[in-house]
Amino acid sequence: MEASQANNLGTPALGDRAVIEATSKNNARVRQRNTMPEIERRSTRRYPLQLPVRYQATSARLTLSGKGQTLNISSAGLLIASSQGVREGLRLRLNVEWPWLLDDRTPLQLIAESRVVRADASQFAVTLERYQFRTSKRQSAPVDQLPWPVTA
């Protein structure tokens, strides 16, 4: 059954695994499960990385800034958990502390210009419009120290 077709009860068919409820001609409630498989619409793979992130609105009229944590990351966007609500359509500058070192000693940050495409009370999703990696202050100790001594 195509998404544009109607089922035999006269209700539109849905393209996801929703439950369709309708009233038949004799006013009996009918439930039908749509068995069409869910299709992944994202064009890039998401990676489940929990990284500290700071964000700030890029609009001069709006003074919004906050902290959160990424839930997943792709080359096209991020899903961020935050207790501060943001609204859809808002443009944000992101600063993500990158977990890997440049040349095994220089910390990196992901700096991005983004737009909020989905938001609720506890998380929001952004699409990346521009991004770059920048070096940050040197750390006195390596980020990931080995649990055993290194011998040559």
DSSP symbols for 30-85 = EEEE--PPP----SS--B----EEEEEE--TT---EEEEEEEEE-SSEEEEE-SS-
Task: Find all residues with CB under 8 Å of 40, minimum gap 6, and list them.
Answer: none
Provide the 8-state DSSP code for 128: E
Given this model, what pLDDT does residue 44 score? 81
Reading the chain (152 residues) residue by residue, the pLDDT tens digits are 444 444 444 444 444 444 445 554 555 555 555 555 555 555 688 999 999 999 999 887 888 899 999 999 999 999 999 988 899 999 999 999 999 999 999 999 999 999 999 999 999 999 999 999 999 875 544 444 445 555 54
Q: Are 62 and 85 in contact (CB under 8 A)?
A: no
3-state secondary structure of 10: coil
Q: Which two tokens stand for residue 80?
A: 């961020």
In 3D space, the residue among 110, 96, 94, 111 whose CA is nearest the CA of residue 58 turns out to be 94
Given this model, what pLDDT does residue 3 score? 44
Dihedral, 140, 143, 144, 146 alpha carbons, nearest 10: 0
- What the chain holds in terms of domains, given with CATH numbers, is 52-135 (2.40.10)
Round to whole Å and give the CA distance between 131 and 113.
Answer: 6
> At 130, which amino acid appears?
R
